[in-house]
Structure 1
Amino acid sequence: MNLDTRIKFRHLLCFLEIARHGSFAKAADAISISQPAISKTLKELESLLETRLFERDNAGVELTAAGARFMRYAGPCVQALRDGVGSLRNEPHQPPQVRVGVLSTVESQLMPEVLRRLHQRHAALVVSVATGPGAYLLAQLHVGDLDVVVGRMTDSPQIHGLTFEHLYSESMTLVVRPGHPLLAEQPLELSRVSRYPLVLPLAGTTIRKHADSLFVQCAIEPSAQRLETLSPTLSRRYVASSEAIWVAPRDAVQRELLQGELCELDLGVREPGGSVGICSNAAVPLALPAQWLCEVVRAVARDYRQADPV
C-alpha cells in the first residue's frame, strides 16, 4: 500500500507522545496543545490507518497490537527526521553520539568498563546514558529516543516488537555489611532473614520478580520493613550503615564482594536470575556509533562471563 500523504508529522508526534506518557493529558502538555486537540489528531490518524491504535480505560491508554506494530516504525521515522533537521542546524563536525539505556543490573560493573574501552577506541564520541526501570527505557527505545538498551529485560511486555541479543545470565544474591549478625551463624537459619530490613528492586520490575522467586525458593517471609529502589548507590550506602539485607544482582555487588566491603549470605540455593543482553529496534539499522557500543558491550560481557561463569 502506498503511504497516505494525508498522514502528517503532527499525527506521528501525537501518537508517539500518547504512547510515551500513557495519558492524553500528559501527552497534550508535552506538545503544548489541548487535550481535545490531541484526541482529535489521534482520531484522524486512526481513521487514516483504518485501525485502532490505543485502548482506553480508567487507568489510562495502552497500545493495541496494531499500535505496537506501528510504533516500531513511527518512532525511528520521527527520530530520523529530527536528526536530519538537526544535522542542518548544528555546527559542522559535531562528534558522533550514541544514546543508550542502562538498567541497574549492569550500571555498576559492566557499563563503566564498556565506556572506558569505548572511549579508548574512539577519541571523539558522546555517549548519552539514560537510567531507569526497564519499561521506561524500552518505551524510549520504541519511540526512537534511545538507540539501544542494555540490561535484564526479557520478561518485560514492552520488549515485544524489539530485538533482544542475549549476553549472559546473572544470578541474584543476598549481601550485608561486614560484621552483620547473620554472618556469625553457620549454617544460616533462613527464618532469621525475616527479622532484618530488606533492600529490594522496585515492585513490578523484572529483577524484582527474580528477587521474590528467591524468597519463595527458600520459604522466607520477606520483612515488612524495606527499601525499594533501583539505585545501586543508595542501596550500597544504606546497607553499609545498617543491618539491612540487599537482594541484589551479582553484577551490582561483585566488586564490593571481592574487596570485602560487602559479604554474601549463603542460602544454600541460587536464583538463576534473568538474561542480560542488548535490546534494539529492528525497524531501523543501528547507526555506526551504536554499532561501536554493541561491539564493546559484547566483548566486555564475554570477559565478564569467563571470569564469573556461575
Structure 2
Amino acid sequence: MLNARIKLRHLQAFLEVARQRSFARAAERLSITQPGISKTIRELEDTLAVSLFERTPKGISLTQAGLTLLRHAGPAVRTLEEGVKALQAVQEGSHWLRIGALSTAESHLLPEALRRWQVDTATERGAQVVTGTSAFLLSRLRRGELDIVVGRMTEAREIHDLSFEHLYYERLQLVVRAGHPLLAEQGLTADKLCAYPWIVPPPQTTLRQQVDSFFVRHGLSLPTQRIETLSLALGLHYTLIGEAIWVAPEEAVRSAQQREELCELTLPLELNGGSVGLCINRSLHPTLATEAFCEVLREVASDVVKGA
C-alpha cells in the first residue's frame, strides 16, 4: 500500500529533478522556489528512508534507490496524467457533438432534437452538422470523424458494421406546385410524368434506389430532363417556380403542403416508406453527448409518430 504521506507533488518534484539533473532547473520548470523543491525532495526521502539523489562533480545524479523509484514512478504518474486528460476529454465531449445529417432528417427531426438537446440543460452545448450522402456520412462515422448519423438509411450497404436504430417510417412523395397541370389529370398514369422535368436524389443514394425502382415497376426510363440533388432548399424553390416533379421526403414538404404551395400527386412513389433512424459506431465508445442526443432523438421521433 502506498504510504499516505507520499503526495503527487512529491513524485512530480522527484521526476522533474531526475529529468533536469538540477534542483534549480526543476524548480523553474515547476514554477516553485529552489528551497521549496529541495524541501519536497527531503520530505520524500524521509518518508522512504532512502537517499534519492547525490551530488557529483557533474551535478545531481540518481542513487540506486532513485533509479528504482524512477523506473516505477515515471510510468505511474504518466498513466495518471493520461487518465486525467481522458476524463477532461470526456467532459468536453459531453458538450459537443458532430452530426451527419441526411436530407430526410433536416426539416424537423434534427432541428427539433437539437433545440431540445440544447435547452434541456443549463450547460452550454454545441454541434457541428455535416450533410451529404449516406455513403459519405457513414464512412466518416466509421473513421470516428462523426459521432452520429441521422436520417433514412436502412438500405445503405455501408451500414453493415455500424449500429442502426429505427425511429419511424417516412415516405418519399411526388410533389408539384399548386396549379400544376398534372393535378387536373384524371386517372394519372406514370407515363404522363415523363413529359415534365424531375428533381431526384443523386445516383448511389438510398433515396435514388426508390426512384429507380418506381421507373422499373412502370417499365419507364428516368427522364433526361432532371436535376439530381439532395438540397431541400433547391428542390423546394425550383418546384415552386416551374413544372418540375420533386421526389421529396414527406417531412420536408409537409409545411409547404399545409400552406397549399405544394401538392402530392395521386400516383404514389412508394407505399410504406423507408426507415428513418440513427446510426452510431459502437466500437468507438459513444460520448456522453452522443448518448444524450440519441435519447432526445427518440423523444422527438415518438412525437412524430404520434402526430402522423
Specify if TM > 0.5: yes
Match of 1:117 in 2: 116
Match of 2:267 in 1: 267
CA shift in 2, pair 1:247/1:220, >3 Å: farther
1:54-100, Cα deviation, whole Å (9 max, x unpaired) = xxxxxxxxxxxxxxxxxxxxxxxxxxx9xx58968xxx989810111
Match of 2:62 in 1: none
Match of 1:108 in 2: 107
Q: Report the residue type matching 1:241 in the other structure.
A: I
What aligned pairs does 1:8-47 form with structure 2 within 5 A after superposition?
none
| In structure 2, distance between residues paired with 1:228 and 1:87 | 44
Question: Does residue 238 of structure 1 match 2:238?
Answer: yes
Match of 1:21 in 2: none
| In structure 2, distance between residues paired with 1:116 and 1:235 | 25
**TM-score for the superposition, normalised by structure 1:** 0.67
| In structure 2, distance between residues paired with 1:257 and 1:185 | 19
Match of 1:145 in 2: 145
Match of 1:201 in 2: 201
What aligned pairs does 1:62-141 form with structure 2 within 5 A after superposition?
96-123=95-122, 124-141=124-141
Match of 1:184 in 2: 184
1:160-193, Cα deviation, whole Å (9 max, x unpaired) = 2111111112211100011111111123243211
Match of 1:54 in 2: none
1:172 and 1:272 in contact (8 A); partners too = no
What is the DSSP-based 3-state SS (H/G/I as helix, E as strand, rest coil) of the residue aligned with 1:192? helix
What is the DSSP-based 3-state SS (H/G/I as helix, E as strand, rest coil) of the residue aligned with 1:234? helix
| In structure 2, distance between residues paired with 1:248 and 1:202 | 13
1:95 and 1:126 in contact (8 A); partners too = no
Match of 2:70 in 1: none
Deviation at 1:109, TM superposition (A): 2.0
Q: Report the residue type matching 1:201 in the other structure.
A: P
Match of 1:250 in 2: 250
| In structure 2, distance between residues paired with 1:186 and 1:251 | 27
What is the DSSP-based 3-state SS (H/G/I as helix, E as strand, rest coil) of the residue aligned with 1:300? helix
Unaligned 5+ residue runs, structure 1?
1-80
1:213 and 1:271 in contact (8 A); partners too = no
Give the number of aligned pairs.
224
**TM-score for the superposition, normalised by structure 2:** 0.67
Deviation at 1:219, TM superposition (A): 4.3
Deviation at 1:217, TM superposition (A): 3.4
Q: Report the residue type matching 1:99 in the other structure.
A: R
Deviation at 1:216, TM superposition (A): 3.0
CA shift in 2, pair 1:268/1:104, >3 Å: closer
| In structure 2, distance between residues paired with 1:139 and 1:119 | 27
Deviation at 1:132, TM superposition (A): 0.5
| In structure 1, distance between residues paired with 2:228 and 2:87 | 40
| In structure 1, distance between residues paired with 2:277 and 2:225 | 32
Unaligned 5+ residue runs, structure 2?
1-81
CA RMSD of aligned residues (A): 2.4
Max radius of gyration: which structure? 2
Q: Report the residue type matching 2:109 in the other structure.
A: L
1:99-147, Cα deviation, whole Å (9 max, x unpaired) = 1111011111211111221222134100111110111111110111111
What is the DSSP-based 3-state SS (H/G/I as helix, E as strand, rest coil) of the residue aligned with 2:255? helix
Deviation at 1:290, TM superposition (A): 1.1
| In structure 1, distance between residues paired with 2:115 and 2:301 | 14
CA shift in 2, pair 1:160/1:307, >3 Å: same
Deviation at 1:263, TM superposition (A): 0.6
2:98 and 2:127 in contact (8 A); partners too = yes
| In structure 2, distance between residues paired with 1:111 and 1:141 | 17
